[in-house]
Amino acid sequence: MPSTPVDIPAFASHQLLLLDAELQSELSETSLLVSSSTPSTLSRAGLAILNLQISSQRTGLGGKTVLELALDPAVAGSRKGGADIPEHGIKVGDIVGVQEQPVGSARRKEKAGLRERGVEGVVGRVGRDRLEVVLGKDPEGEELGGLGTGGRLWMMNQTMSNLKALPESAYTPFIRVLFGLTMPTPLPVPLPTPLTWLDPTLNPSQKDAIRFALASREIALIHGPPGTGKTHTLIELILQLLSQNLRILVCGPSNISVDNIVERLAPHKVPMIRLGHPARLLPSVLSHSLDILTRTSDAAAIVQDIRREMDAKQASIRKARNGRERRVVYGELRELRKEFRIRERGCVEGLIRGSRVVLATLHGAGGFHLKGQEFDVVVVDEASQALEAQCWVPLMWVKAGKLVLAGDHLQLPPTIKSLNTKEVKKAEKEKKTDKKTKARDDGEGETEKGEKSKDVNKSTTLETTLFDRLLDLHGPSIKRMLTTQYRMHEKIMRFPSDELYESKLVAADAVKARLLKDMPYEVSDTEDTKEPVVFWDTQGGDFPEKTEDEEIGKKAGKGMSLGESKSNELEAALVKLHVSNLVEAGLKPEDIAVVTPYNAQLAILSQLVKEDYPEIELGSVDGFQGREKEAVIVSLVRSNPEHDVGFLGEKRRLNVAMTRPKRHLCVIGDSETVGRGSKFLKKWMEFLEENADLRYPNVSDLYVDERNSG
Ligand SMILES: Nc1ncnc2c1ncn2[C@@H]1O[C@H](COP(=O)(O)OP(=O)(O)OP(=O)(O)O)[C@@H](O)[C@H]1O
């Protein structure tokens, strides 16, 4: 049974509040760092651009108001002549709202509906340092005046506002299932089998997931734990859908996630188009890029003809003998340009309509090219890395029959800064007070919608992904899990499998017993290279953590433990000792990664370890998601008498940390502190004590080692 159905306008309003809270949180950071170079979570997700000002305003074609927006110089720094807008996902054709940016006390003063005061339009041009928005309807003078007077503006993709405004009559069966208004259509048992598998090496859980996704009518989740071949499975699914003559839109939260699929589909000669700016695509996928095909395909010839004609005309201007002749040529050029635009649009439309597989980032799929296009299936890879608001960009834009999401909700969700706690609660309280006042004024009680929206608010934060929410709504019957993993030694896999994946993971034969000593190059057999899991237990209080001061934390921090970053110098020394042991045994430094949840620890490690072994990869746990290495050393850092573990307590972060290695996992940490952090941590420490090669470091050895290494 689904849990309570979700009220769609209330859901969208709540999402807007959450986005607002994220904006608040990003602002408090950008205003401190005065940084115009780091894209924020919202800009990366293609949902917003912050800190803008109206630089000019004119009347464009059809008498429409065109606003030109540039970065507020106060934020951009002292540079004259327009600073570059940080990388963002907003593009020509996007429907956006331009609104006043809420700032601290101003927000409280203006709580009576900031959003309503903004203006809506379509992005007409996007430049390095400025962009233009063509307003939909002429704003009332007051609205624009309000926007123009000094305050900063932000531009936000309108998807959620559009969802909020969607009339009930427009809810498709598919949308109704996504919000629990109807149950997913029950599937036949047993599932029908597709005739032939194109990839004979698929394992049973992969085949089952594909059969399930093919048979599902509205939604299917493919749950891919680490290394289980999620993308591999999606490729076969896409090929099977194609063989059923269906049309497919494939999206991912990042360009790389989409390009990965294009590259893997290419050998199958799939007729596909990749949308997106060519500069952001991998060189290997450019031949499928819409922009490139618009110039090179057969259909483009007719566009090129007219381009040549325009070039010739342009050149003939010089030969004109007088002003009258020049005017004539300019007139002809104008006509040609018009014709060029019409033909180009026709060519683009033809290419898109003719392609059975269209690929784009979630946000890129919201472009005007795809507006109203019909797709039998929308496939989203890395869905648990995407904000729900991001997923709705394509879902609101195209007509979709069915949605397949692939991801792992037990790894980290997209990084956001606000965590939506304080700000959202505050905003909700304000909203409720407003609503109550309004209801009182209108002589009404709380509406049914108001009641329902409370449910939504309780259960969703910005980091609740669509994947999470659907699983919550409809339960595990809408998903299939891939269970054979092709990355980790059996022993490395054991704990995450038992604790997070219901003991269902199985290590593929090719990987289950692989050790460092069996590397394809010469590595000697040592106490380290013959062990899949090593635990250096630093308990006893000799390895105390240190709290870094706020500034260091902030500089290093990208959404992680800002202002309270922790480090542990002795643990770092231990990392170095373990690395040098591995390298001495013959392991190449490029086959080793060191990950830690704390940026301050990363800073120490990059001095201590990276200097001697520049090829080693160092990373935050969050940044290493999706990656793998032969040997991974995890430095847990926390060691204090209070047994405080901070954000180390997040299961999903630990899961990512412990599932990166193929042949060797080395954990360095204080079992006394860490083991008291949470039930999960306690179990992990117990598991390591029983199953890992356990070592107790001697601090004085490390000091000696430190002095020796100079
Ligand atoms: N059925 C299979 N037989 C053999 N190898 C497989 C099979 N399925 C996947 N693999 C291998 O497993 C590895 C991981 O596959 P893939 O890149 O598709 O995984 P993923 O689940 O998308 O990755 P991640 O774990 O990072 O999310 C690849 O090297 C792939 O070749």
**What is the Cα–Cα distance from 18 to 423, expressed in whole angstroms?**
8
Residue 457, both tokens: 């608010």
CA–CA distances in Å: residue 99 to residues 83, 85, 120, 137, 148? 21, 17, 9, 15, 10
Ligand 1 centroid distance, CA of 200 (Å): 14
Task: Answer whether 693's CB lies under 8 Å from 536's CB.
Answer: no
Task: Find out whether the beta carbon of 626 lies less than 6 Å from any atom of ligand 1.
Answer: yes
Ligand 1 centroid distance, CA of 423 (Å): 40
Task: Find out whether the beta carbon of 231 lies less than 6 Å from any atom of ligand 1.
Answer: yes
Task: Find out whether the beta carbon of 394 lies less than 6 Å from any atom of ligand 1.
Answer: no
The torsion region of residue 619 among left (phi > 0), alpha (psi -120 to 50) and beta comes to: beta
Ligand 1 centroid distance, CA of 486 (Å): 6
Atom of ligand 1 nearest to the CA of 224: 21
**What is the Cα–Cα distance from 246 to 216, expressed in whole angstroms?**
14
Atom 14 in ligand 1: residue holding the nearest Cα:
229
* Nearest C-alpha neighbor of 382 from the set 510, 273, 511, 226: 226
Contacts of 173 (CB under 8 A, 6+ apart): 182, 218
User: For the chain, which residues score pLDDT lower than 70?
Assistant: 1-3, 28-39, 75-82, 102-117, 138-151, 416-460, 549-564, 703-710
Which burial class, exposed, middle or buried, applies to 38 when counting CB atoms under 10 A from its CB (0-12, 13-18, 19+)? middle
Helix (H, G, I), strand (E, B) or coil at 226: coil
Task: Answer whether 363's CB lies under 8 Å from 275's CB.
Answer: no
**What is the Cα–Cα distance from 428 to 445, expressed in whole angstroms?**
18
Atom of ligand 1 nearest to the CA of 627: 26
**What is the Cα–Cα distance from 416 to 414, expressed in whole angstroms?**
6
Pocket test for ligand 1, best of 232, 258, 379 (most atoms within 8 A of CB): 232
HEC readout, 141-159: HHHHHHHHCCCCEEEEECH
Residue 273, both tokens: 């188009």
CA–CA distances in Å: residue 291 to residues 257, 296, 352, 703? 19, 9, 11, 59
Pocket test for ligand 1, best of 221, 486, 652 (most atoms within 8 A of CB): 486
The torsion region of residue 561 among left (phi > 0), alpha (psi -120 to 50) and beta comes to: left
Task: Find out whether the beta carbon of 206 lies less than 6 Å from any atom of ligand 1.
Answer: yes
Residue 104, both tokens: 């601290």
Ligand 1 centroid distance, CA of 455 (Å): 38
* Nearest C-alpha neighbor of 296 from the set 285, 306, 284, 287: 287
- Between β-strands 153-157 and 48-59, what pairing exists: parallel, antiparallel or unpaired? antiparallel
In this prediction, residue 407 carries a pLDDT of: 96
Ligand 1 centroid distance, CA of 251 (Å): 19
ipTM of the complex: 0.96
Task: Find out whether the beta carbon of 39 lies less than 6 Å from any atom of ligand 1.
Answer: no
Helix (H, G, I), strand (E, B) or coil at 440: helix
Beta strands in 184-319 (DSSP E): 219-223, 248-252, 272-274
Q: Element (H or E) spanning 106, and its range?
A: helix 104-109
Which pTM value belongs to this model?
0.84
Contacts of 197 (CB under 8 A, 6+ apart): 207, 236
Kindly report, residue by residue over 118-143, the tens digit of the pLDDT.
788 888 888 888 889 888 776 655 55
Atom 28 in ligand 1: residue holding the nearest Cα:
229
Task: Find out whether the beta carbon of 232 lies less than 6 Å from any atom of ligand 1.
Answer: yes
DSSP 164-222: HH--GGG--HHHHHHTTSSPPPPPPSSPPPPS--S-TT--HHHHHHHHHHHH-SSEEEE
**What is the Cα–Cα distance from 429 to 163, expressed in whole angstroms?**
23
Task: Find out whether the beta carbon of 227 lies less than 6 Å from any atom of ligand 1.
Answer: yes
Residue 321, both tokens: 């003998």
Task: Answer whether 205's CB lies under 8 Å from 481's CB.
Answer: yes
Task: Find out whether the beta carbon of 568 lies less than 6 Å from any atom of ligand 1.
Answer: no
Q: Element (H or E) spanning 390, and its range?
A: helix 388-397
Ligand 1 centroid distance, CA of 227 (Å): 6
In this prediction, residue 648 carries a pLDDT of: 87
Task: Answer whether 341's CB lies under 8 Å from 303's CB.
Answer: no
Task: Find out whether the beta carbon of 225 lies less than 6 Å from any atom of ligand 1.
Answer: no
Amino acid at 14: H
Ligand 1 centroid distance, CA of 487 (Å): 8
CB contact burial 535-563 (16+ within 10 A = b; e otherwise): bbbbbeeebebbebeeeebbebbebbbbe
Cβ count near 521 (within 10 Å): 8
Task: Answer whether 382's CB lies under 8 Å from 414's CB.
Answer: no
Cα radius of gyration rounded to whole Å, the chain: 28
Task: Find out whether the beta carbon of 203 lies less than 6 Å from any atom of ligand 1.
Answer: yes
Atom 2 in ligand 1: residue holding the nearest Cα:
202
In this prediction, residue 447 carries a pLDDT of: 31
Ligand 1 centroid distance, CA of 231 (Å): 7
First-residue to last-residue Cα distance in the chain:
65
* Nearest C-alpha neighbor of 42 from the set 32, 56, 54, 29: 29
Atom 3 in ligand 1: residue holding the nearest Cα:
201
User: How is the chain split among helix, strand and coil, in percent rounded to 5?
Assistant: 50, 15, 35
Amino acid at 687: F
Task: Answer whether 604's CB lies under 8 Å from 625's CB.
Answer: no
Task: Find out whether the beta carbon of 226 lies less than 6 Å from any atom of ligand 1.
Answer: yes
Ligand 1 centroid distance, CA of 659 (Å): 14
* Nearest C-alpha neighbor of 181 from the set 218, 221, 222: 218
Ligand 1 centroid distance, CA of 484 (Å): 9
Task: Find out whether the beta carbon of 224 lies less than 6 Å from any atom of ligand 1.
Answer: yes
Instruction: Answer positive or negative: Cα dihedral of 162, 166, 171, 172.
Output: negative
Atom of ligand 1 nearest to the CA of 232: 18
In this prediction, residue 88 carries a pLDDT of: 75
Ligand 1 centroid distance, CA of 185 (Å): 30
Residue 453, both tokens: 């929206």
Ligand 1 centroid distance, CA of 224 (Å): 10
Task: Find out whether the beta carbon of 57 lies less than 6 Å from any atom of ligand 1.
Answer: no
Amino acid at 516: L
**What is the Cα–Cα distance from 131 to 110, expressed in whole angstroms?**
27
HEC readout, 327-384: HHHHHHHHHHHHHHHHHHHHHHHHHHHHCCEEEEECCHHHCHHHCCCEEEEEEECCHH
Atom of ligand 1 nearest to the CA of 227: 25
Ligand 1 centroid distance, CA of 257 (Å): 14
Task: Answer whether 18's CB lies under 8 Å from 462's CB.
Answer: yes
Pocket test for ligand 1, best of 228, 480, 484 (most atoms within 8 A of CB): 228
Cβ count near 124 (within 10 Å): 18
DSSP tag of 591: G
Atom of ligand 1 nearest to the CA of 482: 21
